[in-house]
Structures are given as structure tokens and as C-alpha cells.
């Protein structure tokens, strides 16, 4: 039997794509261990040398046998090529830390991701940004504040960054999309959107911003990924604003990371009897700036950004939506910062439950009303 010589990694790759494939191959094996990946890269003169070294040498650097053999397997660069092809087929982007398109803000943090997989407009990653994070089950007050704050910031050209989780994250993205641009940072790969119900939000974001991840596309949303992705949320932003958070909350992890990265940390005060106010009030007591409006956030920017965004402008007058009399009767009894139960609407209007539900459905389809579980309704901003 004749044995054919297997081509080396360098013989398999040509052109400008060589370094990117090496980066993706390394990421496929070590995306969950930044320090180990950096240690391996620093030990070799070039990225290509990693893939042709004996597994034993990688084991000596701290890799377990499974990872060492995966990294030196001939199949790893084929997998990397399939990932790059998958991204390209969808019009997505992959940028490495040495690329010109890589956001400068992330280069300032201690542990920037080596690769960013993204969908949407890569340029939005380099624009002035504010992160808005908070509770996954916010109150009506928290929902209204997050959405309005994001909308007000985005309408002035500030990118809103968050994690596309349910609750405050999603509300911040939707608020920003109403007037401007937003960036979502995932704790999973682009082929495993989490939570699944945010697929529609994903599509909207990539039309007006970007969705990014440091994890390869097929990576599922594992629990330890989310604290890791939080450093990217804070790293992209000039400031992090927390809107509703319990005392033990992932949002407080983001706030701590922001402090370590030299970013401004801010918090929105809430109801003193609510558990969701504990984290925000603790941050304020610890020195975080209290935020009521978008101006409170922008005032902490350095010059000339502060002056650029605080410059007075002519505000467009928001007209009352055109409504039929029966729709207006319901709409005017809803509030933006408080939930109203359908039974209360029936009592206050004298209309039947079925009539009110039909009207509320029409208003919801027009984006004028939110419904939350339990037949509670809230006016959109």
C-alpha cells in the first residue's frame, strides 16, 4: 500500500486568508480559554507553527491531550475553512485583533477577544457607545426607563450596546432601533441565537447595527460564556448604565468589569421596596452616577464628545397616533411606566373584555402597546 505525503498546513493555505484560518482554527479549540490561547500564541514565532507542532509540545504548555490533538489534527483547518465559508455565505464578518476594522475600544481592555464573529455593519463597533444592562424580568417602570433611555441616546447618534437577553437587554435594543443603532454581544455562536424568541430582534439589529460574538458559530450558550461576554459589552462602551438589578446579578458583574476597564458606571434609581432596586442603589451608594435622563449619561463623556452630543438641537414634535375613538379610549388609559390589567380597563371604560382585547391586539400590532403575561398592558414610548 502506497502512503501519500500529507500536505502541511502552510501548503493547504494560500493568500490573505491564511492568517484568518489559523485564527479561526485556534478559536475552535480554545475559545473558552483566553489565557491558554494567548499563552500558546506567544510561544510560537507564527500562528502556522502551532498547527504543525507535536501534540506533546502543546501539552507541555498546559493544554490537555484532547485539545492538543484537536489543534494538531489535519481536520482542524478544514473545520476553520467551513466556518469562514459559512460566515461569508451569509454576508457575515470575522475580524481578528490585528485587523484595521477591530474596534479600538476593545484594544484598551486587559483581555480583548482574539476574534470577533459578527453580522451586520462592522463600522458600528467603532462608534461612541453606551451599554445598558439590567434585570431579565423587569418591572413596568424598568421597561419604560430602559426603552426611553436607549431611544434618547440612539436618537443622538450614540450606539446602544447590550447582551440581547430577555428583559432590559432586549428593551434597550428595541428602544435604540426606534431612533438609531445598536450592538448585541452574544454568549453563544451566531448559529445558536439565545434566547430563541429573539430571532426577530436579531434580524432587526443586523439591519441597523451589529450582532457579535467571540465564540465560533456552532458554539451553544453555555453558562460560563455570559460572564465572559460581559467584558465585551462594557469594553465597547464609554459608560455602562444599569437599569434594575438584584443585589446578586450578572449586571453587577458587567459594572465591575467596566470599573476595571476604566469605563463610567451609572445606575437608574428605583422603588426602595423593590428587590430589583437593590443592585442599582448599592452601585449609587458605592459611587456610581445616578441617571434619570440621557443628559446625565452624556455629561460624563470627555471633550469633545460631551459637547458634540449635548449641543442643543431642534426636537421633532411627536404627534399623537391616529386612532379611532374606541382605540383612543383604551390607549389614553394606559401608561408608559405602569402596567394596567385588562379587568381595570373593562371597569374604567365599560367595554367588554372581548372588545378590549380586539382593540389591544390592533394597538399591539401597530407597536403602540406592550402585553406582558397575566393580561397586563403598557403603552409603548
Q: What is the pLDDT of residues 160-180, one digit of tens each?
A: 999 999 999 999 999 999 999
What is the domain partition of the chain in residue ranges?
1-89, 118-310, 325-379
What does the pLDDT average to over 314-332? 75
Mean pLDDT, the chain, rounded, equals 90
Distances from the Cα of 208 to the Cα of 141, 159, 191, 205, angstroms? 26, 10, 20, 5
Q: Which residue has the cell 458605592?
A: 286
Contact status, residue 163 vs residue 226, Cβ threshold 8 Å: yes
* pLDDT the model gives residue 3: 44
pLDDT at position 4 over 50: no
How many angstroms separate the CA atoms of 213 and 185, rounded?
6
pLDDT at position 329 over 70: yes
State pLDDT tens for residues 99-149. Answer: 999 999 999 999 999 999 999 999 999 999 999 999 999 999 999 999 999
pLDDT band at 208 (very low <50, low <70, confident <90, very high): very high
Domain 118-310 belongs in CATH node 3.40.50.450: yes
- Burial, 178: exposed, middle or buried (Cβ in 10 Å; 0-12, 13-18, 19+)? middle
Bigger pLDDT: 7 vs 281: 281
pLDDT at position 285 over 90: yes
pLDDT at position 313 over 80: no
Residues 6+ apart with CB under 8 A from 260: 110
pLDDT at position 14 over 80: no
How many angstroms separate the CA atoms of 37 and 63, rounded?
9
What does the pLDDT average to over 263-271? 97
Which CATH architecture best describes the domain 325-379?
Answer: Orthogonal Bundle (1.10)
In this prediction the pTM is 0.81
pLDDT at position 311 over 80: no
How many angstroms separate the CA atoms of 352 and 92, rounded?
50
Name the least confident of 76-90, 151-165, 263-277, 342-356: 342-356
* pLDDT the model gives residue 156: 94
- CATH number of 1-89, picked from 1.25.40, 1.10.3470, 1.10.150, 2.60.40: 1.10.150
Amino acid at each position: 500500500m502506497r502512503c501519500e505525503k500529507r500536505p502541511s498546513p502552510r501548503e493547504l493555505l494560500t493568500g490573505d486568508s491564511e492568517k484568518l484560518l489559523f485564527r479561526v482554527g485556534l478559536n475552535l479549540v480554545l475559545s473558552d480559554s483566553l489565557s491558554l490561547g494567548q499563552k500558546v500564541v506567544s510561544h510560537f514565532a507564527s500562528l502556522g507553527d502551532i498547527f504543525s507542532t507535536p501534540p506533546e509540545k502543546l501539552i507541555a504548555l498546559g493544554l490537555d491531550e484532547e485539545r492538543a490533538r484537536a489543534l494538531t489534527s489535519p481536520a482542524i483547518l478544514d473545520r476553520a475553512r467551513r466556518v469562514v465559508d459559512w460566515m461569508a455565505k451569509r454576508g457575515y464578518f470575522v475580524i481578528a485583533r490585528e485587523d484595521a476594522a477591530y474596534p479600538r475600544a476593545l484594544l484598551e481592555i486587559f483581555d480583548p477577544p482574539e476574534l470577533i464573529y459578527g453580522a451586520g455593519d462592522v463600522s458600528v463597533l467603532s462608534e461612541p457607545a453606551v451599554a445598558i444592562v439590567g434585570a431579565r424580568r423587569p418591572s413596568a417602570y424598568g421597561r419604560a426607563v430602559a426603552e426611553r433611555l436607549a431611544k434618547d441616546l440612539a436618537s443622538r447618534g450614540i450606539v446602544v450596546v447590550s447582551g440581547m437577553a430577555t428583559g432590559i437587554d432586549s428593551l434597550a435594543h428595541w428602544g435604540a432601533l426606534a431612533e438609531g443603532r445598536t450592538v448585541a454581544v452574544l454568549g453563544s455562536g451566531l448559529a445558536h441565537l439565545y434566547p430563541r424568541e429573539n430571532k426577530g430582534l436579531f434580524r432587526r439589529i443586523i439591519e441597523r447595527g451589529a450582532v457579535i460574538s467571540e465564540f465560533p458559530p456552532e458554539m451553544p450558550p453555555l453558562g460560563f460564556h455570559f460572564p465572559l461576554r460581559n467584558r465585551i459589552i462594557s469594553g465597547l462602551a464609554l459608560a455602562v448604565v444599569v437599569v434594575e438589578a438584584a443585589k446578586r446579578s450578572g449586571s453587577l458583574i458587567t459594572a465591575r468589569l467596566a470599573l476595571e476597564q476604566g469605563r463610567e458606571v451609572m445606575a437608574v434609581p428605583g422603588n426602595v421596596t423593590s428587590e430589583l432596586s437593590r443592585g442599582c442603589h448599592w452601585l449609587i451608594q458605592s459611587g456610581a452616577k445616578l441617571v434619570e435622563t440621557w443628559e446625565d449619561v452624556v455629561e460624563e463623556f470627555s471633550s469633545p464628545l460631551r459637547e458634540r452630543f449635548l449641543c442643543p438641537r431642534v426636537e421633532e414634535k411627536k404627534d399623537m397616533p391616529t386612532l379611532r375613538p374606541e382605540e383612543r379610549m383604551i390607549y389614553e388609559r394606559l401608561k408608559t411606566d405602569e402596567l394596567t390589567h385588562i379587568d381595570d380597563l373593562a371597569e374604567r371604560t365599560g367595554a367588554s373584555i372581548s372588545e378590549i382585547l380586539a382593540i389591544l391586539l390592533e394597538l399591539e400590532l401597530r407597536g403602540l402597546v406592550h402585553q406582558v403575561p397575566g393580561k397586563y398592558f403598557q403603552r409603548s414610548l
